[in-house]
Structure 1
Amino acid sequence: MRKELYVFRDRKPMKAEIRNYREADFAELIRIQRESFPPPFPEELLWNEEQLYNHVKRFPEGALCAMADGRIVGSVTGLLIGSEQSGTAHSWQEVTDAGYIRNHNPSGDTLYIADICVSPEYRKTGLGKWLMQSMYEVVVHLRLRRLLGGGRMPGYADAAAAFAETKEAGFLSAEQYLESVMKGERSDPVISFLLRCGRTPVGVVPDYLEDEESMNYAALMEWKNPFWNGGNQ
């Protein structure tokens, strides 16, 4: 894949490009990961070169990056999984093979998002949404049933702490937090972004990822291919 487009930065059009990433991009991709996921996000969950090598060799169609100002400023990575892997009872480590995607199933009908990130400097330009849109295009191109992935809920820990201070013996569950975001009572940096991208929640997953801000929870969210015809060519 390779496409050129314009996004807006400070109300000014900016030329950008989305393409498949390759081995020569690994150092830049690792830099973007560090910029996008600072502590307390666990450093060991950031991409390493072996993982990135697997991405470009096992499923290059699902390894995309965004470029602006002559450099990589974002990326998104996925793998194909079968229906037996896509239930709500899974962790990020299990479904992505800890990011190494050696379990990529070329016959799978679901594109699972392992990661999406945009450098903080280029957020609010629309590049994150364009990266997700590009993955929807991969789903349509490969005639897959849907796109799926777990969305972090980085606002959950603070919301739960604030809730506990105002309610006697009360606790805000992850399901309640997600519902409050869906009702517009709260905004979550990741979940609200995914909703704007067209993703729909299908459940809450406990112990999905070591993530203090999300209290290890994630919202499993999908995008259904509107052109899918049951697997018939």
Structure 2
Amino acid sequence: MSAAFIGRTVLASRPDGRYVVVQARTEDAPALEAVQRACFPSLSEDEIATARHFLSHQAHFPEGQLAVLDTATAQVVASSSDFRLRVNFAHYAHAYMKETGDNLFTTHDPDGDWLYGADIGVHPDARGQGLATLLYGARHDLIRRLNLKGHVAGAMPKGYCAVADHLPIEQYVLDVIRGERRDPVLSVQLGRGYGVWGIIPDYLDDDSCRNHGVFIVWRNPAHRPGAR
């Protein structure tokens, strides 16, 4: 076994053992930034998560910070970042930077009853290996373990830029929901059991989705109201 994950609890693994999900640690921060930059080349520099941000995530809510290790190379090849919060579904629209405390997770609420998916990314060289599936499974396991109501996130409809000049975002999202159009991000999340709650204008600064986010929700079927 590589020294890269000796003493680290494996939270999920691919059946062949090639890739494992672990809780991110401080020494992973530079590699997490490298994955982030490879995954989101069109995201503004002000909104990209750097090593400094990943260290802050770990300080505020270590359980929600996940990394995927390639057991053959000991490299971090994917990650996800989450924190707890309370959700007002009547006022779901929000700017990513405000909701995440300028990407530092200072808005984490230890008593929050929802998990907020701030980020998930798989390095382009490792895509097609089922790594996002591993991360989503580990996230849902965390939600069940903490008895949270579910998972929310602002999905980036990254295929919208190709049709934005002639198609309103509302129609684009509806087409994706109906299965009449495929979006590289939103379609995958819908396939994982998430539902669309609404569209978020000015969610972030990324031309691939023309700055839009889509508020998505996964409800924990095992949630026990009142249980701790």
Q: Say yes or no: TM over 0.5.
A: yes
| Alpha-carbon distance in structure 1 between the residues aligned to 2:142 and 2:34 | 25
Which residue matches 2:196? 201
| Alpha-carbon distance in structure 1 between the residues aligned to 2:30 and 2:47 | 16
**Contact map agreement 2:195 2:217 (CA 8 A) in 1:** yes
| Alpha-carbon distance in structure 1 between the residues aligned to 2:168 and 2:89 | 25
SS in 2 for 1:201: strand
1:124 aligns with 2:132: no
| Alpha-carbon distance in structure 2 between the residues aligned to 1:201 and 1:126 | 23
Output the aligned Cα RMSD.
1.7
| Alpha-carbon distance in structure 2 between the residues aligned to 1:188 and 1:198 | 15
Which residue matches 2:104? 100
Q: Which runs of 5+ in 1 are unaligned?
A: 8-12, 165-171
Which residue matches 2:25? 22
C-alpha deviation, 1:223, in angstroms = 0.8
Which residue matches 1:134? 138
1:6 aligns with 2:14: yes
SS in 2 for 1:43: coil
C-alpha deviation, 1:231, in angstroms = 3.0
- Following TM superposition, the consecutive aligned residue runs of length 4 or more in structure 1 with deviations greater than 3 angstroms are 84-87
C-alpha deviation, 1:105, in angstroms = 0.3
Which residue matches 1:232? 227
1:214 aligns with 2:209: yes
Query: Please, which of 37, 40, 60 is the counterpart of residue 40 of structure 2?
Result: 37
Answer 1 or 2: which has greater strand percent.
Answer: 1
C-alpha distance 131-88 of structure 1, shift in aligned 2 (>3 A):
same
**TM-score scaled by length of structure 2:** 0.90
Query: Please, which of 174, 182, 190 is the counterpart of residue 179 of structure 1?
Result: 174
Which residue matches 1:78? 82
| Alpha-carbon distance in structure 2 between the residues aligned to 1:86 and 1:32 | 34
| Alpha-carbon distance in structure 1 between the residues aligned to 2:88 and 2:183 | 30
Which residue matches 2:52? 50
Q: Which amino acid aligns with 1:51?
A: H
| Alpha-carbon distance in structure 2 between the residues aligned to 1:185 and 1:84 | 30
SS in 2 for 1:105: coil
**Contact map agreement 2:32 2:51 (CA 8 A) in 1:** no
Percent identity reads: 30
| Alpha-carbon distance in structure 2 between the residues aligned to 1:215 and 1:231 | 40
| Alpha-carbon distance in structure 2 between the residues aligned to 1:86 and 1:37 | 30
Number of corresponding residues = 218
Which residue matches 2:95? 91
C-alpha deviation, 1:83, in angstroms = 2.6
| Alpha-carbon distance in structure 2 between the residues aligned to 1:22 and 1:135 | 17
**TM-score scaled by length of structure 1:** 0.88
| Alpha-carbon distance in structure 2 between the residues aligned to 1:86 and 1:125 | 38
C-alpha deviation, 1:88, in angstroms = 1.8
C-alpha deviation, 1:201, in angstroms = 1.0
Q: Summarize deviations over 1:101-131 as a string: whole Å, max 9, x none.
A: 1111001001001100000111111101210
C-alpha deviation, 1:84, in angstroms = 4.0
Which residue matches 1:167? none
Q: Summarize deviations over 1:43-101 as a string: whole Å, max 9, x none.
A: 33221232111111110110000111321000000111113488322111111112101
| Alpha-carbon distance in structure 1 between the residues aligned to 2:227 and 2:217 | 21
